[in-house]
Amino acid sequence: MLSGEDGGWRLENELVSVLISAEGLIVSAVDKTSGREAVAEGRAANLFQLHQDFPNMWDAWDIDKYYRNSVDDLTAVDSISASVVDGTASVVVTRSFSESTIEQTITLAPGQRTVQLRNDIDWHETEKLLKLAFPLDVQATHTEAETQFGYQSRVTHTNTSWEAAKFETSMHRFVLVREQDFGVALVNDSIYGYDTSREVSDDAVTTTVRLSLLRAPRFPDPDTDHGHHQIEIGFVVGADAAIATAEGIRLNSLPTLVRGAHEVAPLVSVEGEGIVVSGVKLADDGSGDVIVRLYEALGRRAVGSLAADFEHQEIREVSLIEDTLDDGRAWAAICVCGRSRCGRCASCAETCVIRGRHCGGLPHGRTMGGWRQSMTFERSRSRCPV
């Protein structure tokens, strides 16, 4: 649903309600389930900020904390318009600044709690850093940033010199800030740097997360990053680790449409909270075996099942580089009827049960995300009689 309000527009569905100002900023984002407001009172999210960027050394590699001494808030708007297409509400904002322009499309689809921010940027700056800021009404003691096979938890305070030195940190597909019963995540398709700050007032705590979008160093290439960029961000209102993981995967693994006579069943499917299939491939040894890589994403013990929709003789646990493990587990192929290769079922789906325990943390920081596992499905050398 799209409606005009206070000179801007309200985008709303059954899960969230978002208010866009006349400057194209998000001034309110309410989770309808909990009634919680995600944007800090009196502040605006989705704010582009431009910094001077002069590292002391290694122009293209370093970001020095002194860049924060100078900042321009990019609030001027060249044009703004709103529309509804196929039930999806959209607001398109165009901004120009210095030598560059940004066309941002803000969308909220039915049944989604993620506000999509698609940024088409024509970038021609020199020694500048472009950030996108989200001041959040969340009293977060930690941020949780996705890494390989889980997420990394980092404190939001700067009480020690060690923490103060972490003024710029990294993520993979999402960064999540949350309280015990409410959280907000930012997911992305192509950028990995962010910074976090925490502001305490008399009656509120604001956690601000800013995504690093583009830089413009002069050395070794004075035209670094110049040209057109398309960066997509998801602002997930009412998120936890499971929702953030799912939204990060959805943004980075867009469906591919292939026209044919009938639907194609997935090669493998998995059941169990927090269990994620990260890859399905042929074994590197040329045997024709199929490797399925999976992991537990939420940092806790998990029990689930993995089903394969192709013929195979055996399922074996192998290492991440596909070597046979001396103590690796193995399962015989079981038909969906429960019998071991009964030869009478009209389906080739086989299922094994997978179990895992949290593998523990890394030094100097916790990696939340449990076990990682690879399984080999040994292909049958002849077809199962059905």
pLDDT, one tens digit for every residue, the chain (386 residues):
899 898 999 999 999 999 999 999 999 999 999 999 999 999 999 999 999 999 999 999 999 999 999 999 999 999 999 999 999 999 999 999 999 999 999 999 999 999 999 999 999 999 999 999 999 999 999 999 999 889 999 999 999 999 999 999 999 999 999 999 999 999 999 999 999 999 998 888 999 999 999 999 999 999 999 999 999 999 999 999 999 999 999 999 988 888 889 888 888 999 999 999 999 999 999 999 999 999 999 988 888 888 888 888 888 889 889 998 888 888 776 554 554 444 434 333 344 555 544 333 332 333 445 566 677 766 543 333 22
Task: Return the domain boundaries, the chain.
Answer: 2-252, 268-378
Residue 151 has what pLDDT? 95
* Token pair in block for residue 224: 């670094």
205-215 and 227-237 beta bridge pairing: unpaired
Q: pLDDT at position 372, please?
A: 65
3-state secondary structure of 299: coil
- Give the chain's radius of gyration (CA, Å): 24
Q: List the structure tokens of 377.
A: 């499905």
Q: Give yes or no for a contact between 38 and 140, defined as CB atoms under 8 angstroms apart.
A: no
Residue 28 is predicted with a pLDDT of 98
Structure tokens at 30: 């309410």
- The CATH class of the 2-252 domain is mainly beta
Choose among 86, 85, 132, 82: nearest CA to 106. 82
CA–CA separation, 312 and 324 (whole Å): 17
Choose among 198, 226, 11, 4: nearest CA to 122. 226
Evaluate the CA torsion angle 242, 186, 189, 170 in order and state its sign.
negative
Pick from 54, 105, 53, 103: which is nearest to 74 by CA?
103
3-state SS, residue 68: helix
User: How far, in Å, CA of 309 to CA of 295, rounded?
Assistant: 20
pLDDT at position 347: 38
Compute the distance between CA of residue 215 and CA of residue 64 in angstroms, rounded to an integer. Answer: 13
Q: For residue 26, what are the contacts with CB-CB under 8 A and spacing of at least 6?
A: 18, 19, 20, 39, 44, 45, 46, 106, 115, 235
Phi-psi region of 321 (alpha: psi -120 to 50; beta: other; left: phi over 0): alpha
- Amino acid 355: pLDDT: 53
pLDDT of 357 reads 41
Specify the pLDDT at position 101: 98
User: What residue type is 24 in one-letter code?
Assistant: G
Q: Where are the alpha helices (DSSP H) in the chain?
A: 161-164, 241-252
pTM for this entry: 0.87
CB contact at 8 A, 136 and 43: no
**pLDDT the model gives residue 345:** 40
Q: Sheet holding 275-282: strands in order across? A: 275-282, 290-296, 372-378, 314-318, 330-332
Predicted pLDDT at 16? 98
- Contact yes or no for 139/160 (Cβ under 8 A): no
